[in-house]
Amino acid sequence: MSETYKVGDLVWAKMKGFSPWPGRVSNPSKDLKKPSHSKKSPIYCIFFFGTNNYGWIEESNMKSYREHKETCMKLNKSAAFKDAIEAIEEFIAKGQVFEDGLDPDSLFDRLKEESIVVEKKTPKITKPRKETPKAKRMDTSVERRPAKKPRRESSASNSNRMGSPSPTLNHSSPSPPRKSTSTLLDRPANIARPVTPPLDVETLSQTLKEKNILPSNLKFGFLGLGIMGSGIVKNLINSGHSVIVWNRTQEKCQDFVKAGAEQGLTPSDVVLAADITFSCVADPQAAKDMVFGNCGVLTEISPEKGYVEMTGIDAETSQDIAEAINTKGGRYLEAQVQGSKTHAQEGTLVILAAGDRSLFDECQSCFEAMGKNSFYLGEVGNASKMNLVLQLMAGVTLAGLAESMALADRAGLQQKDVLEVLELTSLACPAILDKGRAIIEGGFPTQLPLQHMQKDLRLSLGMSDQLEQPLPLAAAANEVYKHAKRLGYGEHDASAVYIRARF
């Protein structure tokens, strides 16, 4: 026997392909046209909490909010869903549900009032309003507005919290909650990257304490204090190495200076003061700019000075830098790193090195502080190639995980159950499990930026072009990352590729 709902009832409304979302049965506005409906199940206009959107939902896809609250609240872990729950609970707490099902302060009434205000202020709106019984009820509601002022402010705060540009942009589209312009997933430009806790530079990690490193007597420079560079420099300082640092944003150097490092005004100043200089910047172009640019590394590189490139680059870029350094009598080593921000901070990276063997040997105490193992792979370019091969594996695997989790959600399975089962299988590994948890939590705090993963896939594809080696899976994964990056998730963790896989 089908349930019968009336205006004002609080429900869980499910659109095809989406988890149930908290809503309220409402009267549609004249702009919200009822879709053609051939099925026997009744259809209702639903106001979706947290997004201030409306949509038409069949009765078979609706459940009573209170009766199914405990079950449905477990089906979605996104921030947008949590805001929607908060909004409906606030609505209930303030006693804004009426026994007769009518809500005299409905969003449509507020829109009516706002449109009247706009009409008074904007000469362009000249179309007269028809006096209908519905319009009269709205005018009556406007007269009662002072008594409802706190309610209107609360609703506005809900809209602002979701990043909605304006209720007037939302009410005319019957789109689902997570397909609206105000949601977490489809308006990434309004979603700030999770705040990264400040790095505690002076505190030694337990891993570093256990290593008992004998620091080198040489002086080391370090260019770039980003996500990876900060953790690496922290361990160099705390292991007793003498370090001089530089970063494009000079404020980032302050905590390291307090911890005992020196600060150089330009990359060339760092190279001049140091015996060996490390560089860890964003991409191949940034690496070239660091070497060949104004006040760059080449300005002060000289015989016997060493330069170690830790930026994720392609073999050709590495060879170009090596040639320039060697031409001026310097020594060059590429030292690619495998790991994330956490590994960099804990000193558990894996270092892949190639180039000058004597420079590799002189950097051993530094590599001990940075990671758990280091490998010498021969001539310049081999380390970059090895790194791209490993990054290709990681990128394709993560894209596959994202699609699997999206499929599970679409099929009505709980993602936490998927991860719990996965943990007991032979596929379980720290990387997959960590990224799976990040997908479920939905915040995507940055461990490895998505834009860096996409960059490595692009470089892998470039290497495959030169070798005429087909990489169809990597090519497809690269497109998924590119789309997620275009949506605004480039600086979020690579697990944010789930956004594109899901939608």
For residues 368 and 391, membership in a common domain is answered with no
For residues 475 and 5, give the distance between their C-alpha atoms in angstroms, rounded to a whole number.
49
Residue 199 lies in a domain: no
* Mean pLDDT across 216-242: 96
For residues 408 and 451, membership in a common domain is answered with yes
For residues 292 and 171, membership in a common domain is answered with no
Residue 487 lies in a domain: yes
Domain count, the chain: 3
> Higher pLDDT residue, 176 or 8?
8
For residues 235 and 240, give the distance between their C-alpha atoms in angstroms, rounded to a whole number.
9
Residue 1 lies in a domain: no
Q: pTM for the whole thing? A: 0.64
Give the 3-state secondary structure of residue 410.
Answer: helix
* Mean pLDDT across 278-295: 95
Give the 3-state secondary structure of residue 465.
Answer: helix
For residues 459 and 355, membership in a common domain is answered with no
For residues 113 and 102, give the distance between their C-alpha atoms in angstroms, rounded to a whole number.
18
Tokens of 271: 């190279």
Confidence at 434, pLDDT banded by 50, 70, 90: very high
Residue 406 lies in a domain: yes
**Domain end marker among 380, 402, 429:** 380
The predicted structure's pLDDT at residue 61: 84
Confidence at 496, pLDDT banded by 50, 70, 90: very high
**Domain end marker among 166, 190, 214:** 190
For residues 213 and 319, membership in a common domain is answered with yes
Owning domain of residue 162: 10-190
Residue 4 lies in a domain: no
Residue 416 lies in a domain: yes
The CA dihedral of 32, 37, 42, 46, to the nearest 10 degrees, is: -30
Tokens of 446: 């940055």
pLDDT reading at 384 higher than 90: yes
**Domain end marker among 163, 190, 217:** 190
pLDDT reading at 240 higher than 80: yes
For residues 348 and 473, membership in a common domain is answered with no
Percent of the chain with pLDDT over 70: 78
For residues 36 and 163, membership in a common domain is answered with yes
For residues 170 and 97, membership in a common domain is answered with yes
The predicted structure's pLDDT at residue 36: 65
The predicted structure's pLDDT at residue 204: 84
**457 φ, ψ (degrees, to nearest 5):** -65, -40
Highest mean pLDDT among 138-142, 203-207, 458-462, 483-487: 458-462
For residues 394 and 371, membership in a common domain is answered with no
Q: Are 305 and 275 in contact (CB under 8 A)?
A: yes
Confidence at 14, pLDDT banded by 50, 70, 90: confident
Cross-sheet strand order for the sheet of 371-376: 262-263, 242-246, 219-223, 276-279, 306-309, 331-338, 349-355, 371-376
Residue 179 lies in a domain: yes
Under 8 Å CB-to-CB from 278, ≥6 apart: which residues? 220, 221, 222, 223, 232, 308, 310, 335, 366
CB atoms within 10 A of CB 153: 10
Whichever domain contains 342, its CATH number is: 3.40.50.720
Whichever domain contains 411, its CATH number is: 1.10.1040.10
For residues 133 and 259, membership in a common domain is answered with no
Residue 3 lies in a domain: no
Whichever domain contains 156, its CATH number is: 2.30.30.140
For residues 256 and 183, membership in a common domain is answered with no
For residues 336 and 410, membership in a common domain is answered with no
